[in-house]
Amino acid sequence: MNARAKRRILVTGGAGFIGSNFVHHWCKEYPDDRMVVLDALTYAGNYQNIAALEARENFRFVKGDICDRLLIDQLLAEEDINTVAHFAAESHVDRSILGPDAFIRTNVVGTFTLLEGFRAHWNARGRQEGVGAASRRHRFLHVSTDEVYGSLSAEDPAFTETTPYAPNSPYSASKAGSDHLARAYYHTYNLPTIITNCSNNYGAYHFPEKLIPLMCINILLGKPLPVYGDGQNVRDWLFVGDHCRALDVVINKGIPGETYNIGGNNEAKNIDLVNKLCELMNELAPDLPVRPAQKLITFVKDRPGHDRRYAINATKIKEELGWTPAQTLEGGLRTTIEWYLKNRDWWQPLLSEEYQNYYNQVYG
């Protein structure tokens, strides 16, 4: 199936951060494709992220749980889905430390439920079309994280697709489990699964608990900027628009059974990233309650199992599929800050009592 052929795509978690950015990307690039979004609209899923797309003839939103096998079977059959882009996940390390059970249910059981449903659907289509034709038409994209690989020292080479898994939090362990399931379904059942492992994303529609939106919003509110430990933890930052382009390429050109690492080539220490956000905020937001914003930086107790460094080697996807990131870190941060400045009506309602209770539990 080539990039110009129509797809009938089910996007799980399509009202979340990366998922909604992907949905907007796909609808823009492939307006003739059928787009079905499934999202449970838990705290991190926001219908407003995709509400503007509901008027499209080829768009459908369904509120539902990926652990609901009956619903999965129904959607796959009635929409004749040939492509699944699986984003739905519990994804925040701090929350996984406080309550790991939800991560096992959504990330492991939910992925298993989707794979089983898609396998039954794919087998049915294979009987009608011939197994070879069904394999060419169908794809199951499992979107995962670099955190499954564990932690790197400053001298270690970046993660590759063959780096052994060594997850260090309930979140990363649950994602590792879901990766193994997706891989096993290819090798056991020949299901056309593809796995991607990405570095830290940032951009529009990012829930306030994550580092970059947390810092942006706290600067705008004049609240402390909590930095874990000594602030020397290193992450590779990937602009979400670049990530969506990579996933597009993987769906259309990737090889079933393969894994592709997706990184931004933008390693930065947490404290350096926070200082850069402060510099940009000082420039872009003239009415800050505290200036310069750097005055708000506050070091807090490190979280348990905090990985020291992540870094992605994205050579494989570059050489085999022709994708490279286009956005620089400073350019991406500037674009992101400008979005948060223009969209206060989006993020202010998210600062609910539940969110405040969670924030106080994590940061004191």
Check if 230 is active-site: no
156 is catalytic: no
Tokens 């990012």 correspond to: 206
pTM recorded for the entire structure: 0.95
Q: Output the tens digit of pLDDT for each of the chain's 364 residues.
A: 444 579 999 999 999 999 999 999 999 999 999 999 999 999 889 999 999 999 999 999 999 999 999 999 999 999 999 999 999 998 778 888 889 999 999 999 999 999 999 999 999 876 555 555 556 779 999 999 999 999 999 999 999 999 999 999 999 999 999 999 999 999 999 999 999 999 999 999 999 999 999 999 999 999 999 999 999 999 999 999 999 999 999 999 999 999 999 999 999 999 999 999 999 999 999 999 999 999 999 999 998 889 999 999 999 999 999 999 999 999 999 999 999 999 999 999 999 999 899 889 888 7
| Domain parsing of the chain, residue ranges | 8-205+236-267+308-327
Distance from C-alpha of 65 to C-alpha of 163, rounded to nearest angstrom: 32
Query: 30, 149, 171, 186: which is the annotated catalytic residue?
Result: 171
Name the active-site residue from 65, 146, 236, 267.
Answer: 146
The set of residues, in sequence order, having a beta carbon less than 8 Å from that of 339 and lying 6+ positions away, is 203, 204
Of 94, 147, 179, 236, which residue is the catalytic one? 147
CATH superfamily of 8-205+236-267+308-327: NAD(P)-binding Rossmann-like Domain (3.40.50.720)
Catalytic residue flag (residue 146): yes
Write the DSSP assignment of 2-27 as a string of letters: -TTS--EEEEETTTSHHHHHHHHHHH
Contacts 24+ apart (CB under 8 A), 56-63: 56/27, 56/31, 58/31, 58/32, 58/33, 58/34, 59/27, 59/35, 60/34, 60/35, 60/36, 61/14, 61/15, 61/36, 61/37, 62/36, 62/37, 62/38, 63/39
